[in-house]
Amino acid sequence: MEQTVMQGRFVALFSLLFGLSMLWVGGDGRDPVANTRLNRRLCWLALFGVLHGALLWWGDILLPYALTGLVLRPCRGWSARRLLSVGGASYLAGVLLLRMDGLIALCRGGHVAASARPSQELSGSLLPEHVFSALTALLKENAGDWLTALPLSLPSVMLTSGPLMLIGMGLYRADYMLSCSSRRKAGWFFFGGAGAACASLPFALMQAGFLPSWSHLPAPDLNFFAVTVRLLVAPLGALGWLWLVDRMRLPQRALAPVGRLALSAYLGQSLLARFSLVLLPRFYGAASYGPLMMLALVLVLAQAMGAALWCRHGWPGPAEKLWRTLYRRPVDVSV
């Protein structure tokens, strides 16, 4: 169920909204003050990403998103039709390019190589006697992992999330994104989301063993097809979630505070996870997918309740306040 209705959808939704936010902050590129403000916003976000990736979590997305946003700045002046057409075609091309190795292997009659499983052995560097030594070892290992992963994550974000940012700009410019439940023309969001769920459901059932594998595919091949389909339909699934939440007031009230504190919540999750590895190092690499999803659900619920209490006092998020202070400084365009 999680693979059918959630996996990949929220990453796609975040990418769509990131593109929309570039228009909100920077406009269509004709206002020099707005242009400078957007440049500052993305550059400071990139710096946050460097610190976050090097010190807290090697899987940081802030730096790739910021750099992708900087590349896409000139596209803000495009028409809605051009943004949607270029974004849609680029997304399909990006997904196919990222899955090219597996597609070539299958077309030649072979099979997709199985992904290497991470070692479950605990390295000595993760089990030192003192907390300070453990923290130092984890920071060093994380920085090395981040530098190794960055050359792979950056092209991946630019090939998939970049086109989705263009689509988000195009939907906003075409007046689809705001108050979509009040417009009949946004009803296709629902049908797109339902179609995305229907396309993903058979593969999820086959992976879970509830349906026989199509043509008796080996597990690596089945996983390859499942991930590829989820990537292809993720934008439609994201828009389906947007349509659904727009019509349900309770989820809006519950999620709005989390949205206002999104950057603080994202950094807070990494900080909590990092110190959990220091305090409970013997669990590193030993938890299976199910318990990890339950832990993630608990953390999300806790953050949602904490964000609601925080916003009830009218306080801005600490990371958001710092970020806005940095990029909203007065702009001198006389030079």
The three-state DSSP-derived secondary structure of 258-281 is HHHCHHHHHHHHHHHHHHHHHHCH
For residue 177, give Cα distances in angstroms to 49, 81, 169, 171.
27, 15, 9, 6
List CB contacts of 269: < 8 A, sequence separation 6 or more.
Answer: 299, 303
CA distances from 173 to 22, 84, 158, 250, 285 (A): 12, 10, 21, 28, 45
Check pLDDT > 60 for residue 269: yes
What pLDDT does 31 receive? 92
Q: Per-residue pLDDT for 119 more than 50?
A: no
Instruction: Quote the pLDDT of residue 212.
Output: 79
Low-confidence winner among 113-122, 175-184, 266-275 (lowest mean pLDDT) = 113-122
Which amino acid is located at 186 in the chain? A
Q: Is the dihedral of CA 278, 125, 150, 237 positive or negative?
A: negative
Q: Is the pLDDT of residue 97 over 80?
A: yes
Q: pLDDT (tens digit, 9 = 90+) per residue, 289-316?
A: 666 677 777 877 888 888 999 998 888 8
CA gap 19, 34 in Å, rounded: 15
Residue 329 CA to residue 335 CA, distance in Å, equals: 16
Residue 85: pLDDT over 60: yes
41-45, 68-72, 172-176, range with the lowest pLDDT: 172-176
Provide the pLDDT for residue 329. 82
Q: Tell whether the model's pLDDT for residue 131 goes beyond 70.
A: no
Give dist(CA 264, CA 267) in Å, integer. Answer: 5
Q: How large is the C-alpha radius of gyration of the chain?
A: 21
Q: pLDDT per residue over 280-293, tens digit each?
A: 555 555 556 666 67
Neighbours of 316 (CB within 10 A): 16
Has residue 160 got a pLDDT over 50? yes
pLDDT at 2: 45
- pLDDT-based confidence at residue 221 (cuts at 50, 70, 90): confident
Sign of torsion over alpha carbons 135, 138, 143, 144? positive
Average pLDDT over residues 162-173: 94
Residue 314 pLDDT:
87
Of 334 and 275, more confident: 275
Mean pLDDT calculated for residue range 164-176: 92
Q: What is the largest CA-CA distance in the chain?
A: 68
Q: Does the pLDDT at position 117 exceed 60?
A: no
Mean pLDDT of the chain: 82
- More confidently predicted of 86 and 252: 86
Q: How far apart are CA 165 and CA 12, in angstroms?
A: 9
Q: What is the pLDDT of residue 335?
A: 47
| Residue 244 burial (C-beta neighbours within 10 Å; 0-12, 13-18, 19+) | middle
What span, in angstroms and rounded, lies between the C-alpha atoms of 94 and 275?
36
Give me the pLDDT at residue 101, please.
80
Q: Please give the Cα distance from 233 to 303 (Å, whole number).
A: 28
pLDDT for 280 equals 59
Are 197 and 4 in contact by the 8 Å Cβ rule? The answer is yes
Percent of the chain surpassing pLDDT 70: 80
Higher-pLDDT residue of 320 and 332 is 320
Q: Which of 57-61, 144-148, 171-175, 207-211 has the lowest mean pLDDT?
A: 207-211
Higher confidence at residue 328 or residue 129? Answer: 328
- d(CA 10, CA 170) in angstroms, rounded, equals 19
Distance between CA 119 and CA 141 in Å, rounded?
15
User: How far is residue 176's CA from residue 235's CA, in Å, rounded to a whole number?
Assistant: 14
pLDDT digits (tens, 9 = 90+) for 225-253: 888 888 999 999 888 888 888 778 887 78
